[in-house]
Amino acid sequence: MSATGGVRLLDVFKGQPKAVWITAFAAVIAFMGIGLVDPILLSIADSLNARPEQVTQLFSSYLGVQVVAMLITGAFSARFGAKRTVVTGLVLIVLATVACALASTIGQLIALRAVWGLGNAFFIATALSVIVGAASGGQQAAILLYEAALGLGLSMGPLLGALLGNLSWRGPFAGTAVLMAAALVLAVGFLPSDSGERRPPVRLTDPLRALRHGGLLRTSLGSALYTAAFFTVLAWSPFVLEYGAIAVGLVFFGWGLCVAVAGVTLAPKLAARFGERCGTVLAVLAYAALLGLMTIDSKAVVVVCVIASGLASGLLNTLFTGTAMSVSSAPRAVASAGYNFCRWFGGALAATLVGHAAAWFGSSQAPFAVGAVACVLAAGLLLSERRGSGPLRVPDEVAVAGEKA
């Protein structure tokens, strides 16, 4: 059974333990941080006299630190336990968001976003393994719940950024600090304490060693290429649209809703109909087609394609994550860290280069073309699997056994 098929939607939300809901709530707030700055990018640029390529570093510093830190989350969690790891991440995010609201230069804001990314690294990878380990309904329901939190966070982030950013660019950071502080209190008070039992040690290099598995490596690299395209849309679209905070926020709110709906309801159906690998290839090619359309010099076309791309993103987030969590026999926390290292590295690279790509090619639409090429490469990578290497999908029991190995 695949990681994304064969589970009823009701099972995703029915009878989940308190720890799962608390972790999912915190995940929603954490994922809000990704799209939070989208509606206020132009406002930040104006207020802090920053160039577009400087402002997009708010994504690259956040993701770059997160990528490197992903390699230590497994070892930290194995030594100190999941609750301490989650709480450490939440504390760092609260401190960083408060400081972001008080920043006075673009350099300070970029540095503080890096601290935010460090906190997110501790939280995100651990949150996935916590939800998978504690959720009722099995790994499939847990992954869908996690992706629902991702989609909801991605949709609410731009909306909160728009509403509070319409008052001041500092508002979204202050608002996130308050919400994340609430998540921190819930995590400290209600997440089960880490038991004193011995946990298998995890070395810092284990996430990279896990990527020696061909299926996990292909899945992770394919996800990195897709995530590069994903952040091209997220980081560059506001500069192409040149809309105010409210308008940009509404566009990405619609986009985020599409991410949530597709990730929870459409991805399992696509996986059941075509299989995870073929479904992923179809979705990533659809994403490439939408990015290709966004090269047309029309704001109306860009708006429609940004919102529609949320459907493809929802499919791909769930399909890639489901495959990564079940394709190898590595412990879930280790496989998640290795996969997320590659996944977010693609996003960090795109966020760093997207502004420069527009200058290199002399067109504001050029980054979308580069993103489309990345998606085509991701599809080719997934299709390059040798026939003798077996399918990407494996029974859930293999992943569970790997957790106990």
Structural domain total, the chain: 1
Average pLDDT (172-196) is 83
Segments forming the whole domain that contains residue 29: 9-404
Inside any domain, residue 128: yes
Inside any domain, residue 3: no
Average pLDDT (355-381) is 91
- Tell me, what amino acid is at 154? L
Kindly report the average pLDDT of the chain as a whole number. 82
Please report, for the chain, how many H helices and E strands are present, in that order. 18, 0
pTM above 0.85, yes or no: no
Per-residue b/e over 78-103, b at no fewer than 16 CB within 10 Å?
beebbbbbbbbbbbbbbbbbbbbbeb
Inside any domain, residue 4: no
How far is Cα of residue 100 from the mean position of the Cα atoms in its chain?
21
Inside any domain, residue 393: yes
Is 167:246 a contact under the CB 8 Å cutoff?
no
> What is residue 333's three-state secondary structure?
helix
Q: Name the region of 309 (left: φ>0; alpha: ψ -120 to 50; beta: rest).
A: alpha
Which residue would you say has higher pLDDT here, 14 or 154? 154
Q: What is the pLDDT of residue 9?
A: 54
Q: What is the pLDDT of residue 1?
A: 41
Distance CA 311, CA 222 (A): 18
Average pLDDT (206-214) is 84
Which residues touch 283 (CB under 8 Å, ≥6 apart)? 270, 312, 315, 316, 319
Distance CA 259, CA 404 (A): 32
Q: What is the pLDDT of residue 200?
A: 65
Q: What is the pLDDT of residue 397?
A: 33
Backbone angles phi, psi at 213, to 5 degrees: -70, 125
Which residue would you say has higher pLDDT here, 259 or 154? 259
Inside any domain, residue 107: yes
Inside any domain, residue 1: no
Q: What is the pLDDT of residue 198?
A: 61
User: For residue 198, what is the domain's CATH number?
Assistant: 1.20.1250.20
Average pLDDT (11-35) is 77
Distance CA 287, CA 117 (A): 26
Q: Is the pLDDT of residue 368 over 90?
A: yes
Distance CA 314, CA 271 (A): 13
- Tell me, what amino acid is at 332? R
Backbone angles phi, psi at 369, to 5 degrees: -65, -40
Distance CA 388, CA 199 (A): 35
Inside any domain, residue 2: no
Residue 282, classified by CB atoms within 10 Å of its CB into exposed (0-12), middle (13-18) or buried (19+), is middle
Is 132:326 a contact under the CB 8 Å cutoff?
no
User: Locate tokens 């860009």: which residue?
Assistant: 302
Q: What is the pLDDT of residue 392?
A: 40
User: Per mean pLDDT, which range of 9-18, 233-242, 336-345, 394-403 is the poorest?
Assistant: 394-403
Inside any domain, residue 116: yes
